[in-house]
Amino acid sequence: MGTAAPLRARWTLGALVSSFPLPAAFPQGPPELRLRPFEARVAGEFTRIVGLRELADGRVLVADEGENRLLVADFRGGSPQAIARPGAGPNEFQRVSYLLPLLADSTLMPDAGSQGRWLLIADAAVVATVFPQGNPFGARYALPLGADRGGRVFAALLPTSASTGPRAVDSLVLVAAHRVTRRIDTLTILRSGHPAAARAFGEVVFIRNTHENRQMARVARVERDEAMLFLDGWVAVVRRATGHVEWWTPDGRLQHPGDKPATTPGSRRSKPEYLDPLSPSLLAAPDGRVIVLRTSPDTLAPISYDVIDRTGRTTAVLRLGRAERLVGLGRHWAYSSVLDEDGLQHLRRHPWP
């Protein structure tokens, strides 16, 4: 329905959520939070939720990577319904990925199995496919991060050569494209989490046992960088290998919290640490704080998240049970999944603390 150009003009919202746990500013450490009891749940099961987007009417879009499904779910009853199907045609996807909120219940989903296609979703329907030549960067390897109120669209680009394709899989370029002027500004270089860089970063495979089967999950070493765009134009860049975070102002200036980059204790690790494969690593709270999944050397450890404000201060630590995962945040709600004995996820909605 229509072309991508008119829809790109609606990109005045959106944020890719990311940051990193910083040292506590509290004498005894930051206070602990727990999710409040859930008040509703979705009928149905999921395998690996990698994206969740809250809609204005209370429904949610869910990207389930485990079964490669893009769904809309209603907490008032009924089973989740597919809103698009896998495929290579228009408005189809090859592999689901994270969901970026845009203006007025619009959503952007990169097609993780394609060569740079993006899907545009209005309400709960896929309405357009953005092909690489039609995105604001004209780039085949562009991983979108969202858009700010100033009319800029952000993405991480994989450096390419006209003759050889990707040429620096160990790095990405964080850029902002101005929709009106078409000017592209480069902010910084990110160490890549691109699949092509898995060999450079190292990878581990572990087995998760369930009553019914043995599920294999690949977990990349936590060496990559991550970036988050805020609606007001601020960008947080997380250097996971060294444990410090950079803040970029809306006018493109680099600003660190405090007099020097903050680091986490033991951030220069002698042993690798990992992120849980069943939980999104970065989420945004409705008040502008960042919710960051903690790393752990134990791939089956209970889940904890640091709640970090704009000054880089860890204001709280959110603790979950061993079977719980935080999979999304909305205006007033937190969305969690709980694993059953078969390793399936059940989606629940909680009042946000």
- The CATH code of the domain that includes 294 is 2.120.10.30
**Domain boundaries, position 220:** 11-351
The rounded distance, in Å, linking the Cα atoms of 120 and 86 is: 15
Q: What digits encode the pLDDT tens for the residues 225-246?
A: 888 887 788 888 878 777 677 7
Token pair of 13 as six digits? 């919202």
- Is there a contact between 118 and 144 (Cβ–Cβ < 8 Å)? yes
Residue 344, pLDDT > 60, answer yes
Choose among 316, 262, 266, 265: nearest CA to 287: 316
pTM here is: 0.79
Residue 108 resides in a domain: yes
Residue 47 resides in a domain: yes
> Based on the structure, what is the number of domains in the chain?
1
**Per this entry, what is the length of the chain?**
353
What's residue 286's pLDDT? 84
Token pair of 314 as six digits? 């860890």
Residue 3 resides in a domain: no
Residue 4 resides in a domain: no
Across 25-34, 116-125, 174-183, the highest mean pLDDT is recorded for 116-125
Residue 259, pLDDT > 80, answer no
The lowest-confidence range among 96-100, 211-215, 220-224, 274-278 is 211-215
| Residue with more model confidence, 194 or 175 | 175
Burial 93-122 (b: 16+ CB within 10 A, else e): beebbbbbbbeebbbbbbbbebebbbbbbb
Angle at 18 between CA 170 and CA 313, to 5 degrees: 120
DSSP symbols for 201-257: H-EEEEEEE-SS-EEEEEEEBTT-EEEEE-TTS-EEEEETTTTEEEEE-TTS-EE-S
Cα distances (Å, whole numbers) of residue 217 to 38, 140, 206, 300: 28, 28, 6, 12
- Quick one: average pLDDT of 11-16? 29
Residue 6 resides in a domain: no
- Quick one: average pLDDT of 267-291? 74
| Residue with more model confidence, 181 or 274 | 181
Percent of the chain's residues with pLDDT above 70 = 75
265 burial via Cβ count (<10 Å: 0-12, 13-18, 19+): exposed
What's residue 221's pLDDT? 53
Across 99-108, 113-122, 333-342, the highest mean pLDDT is recorded for 333-342
Across 60-69, 142-151, 302-311, the highest mean pLDDT is recorded for 60-69
Residue 184 resides in a domain: yes
Chain CA centroid to CA 182, Å? 26
Residue 278 resides in a domain: yes
Residue 204, pLDDT > 50, answer no
Q: How many CB atoms lie within 10 A of CB 331?
A: 8
The rounded distance, in Å, linking the Cα atoms of 177 and 130 is: 16
- Quick one: average pLDDT of 66-76? 95
DSSP symbols for 286-312: TTS-EEEEPPBS-TTSPPEEEEE-TTS
Q: What is the 3-state secondary structure (H, E, C) of 332-343?
A: CEEEEEEECCCC
The rounded distance, in Å, linking the Cα atoms of 94 and 319 is: 35
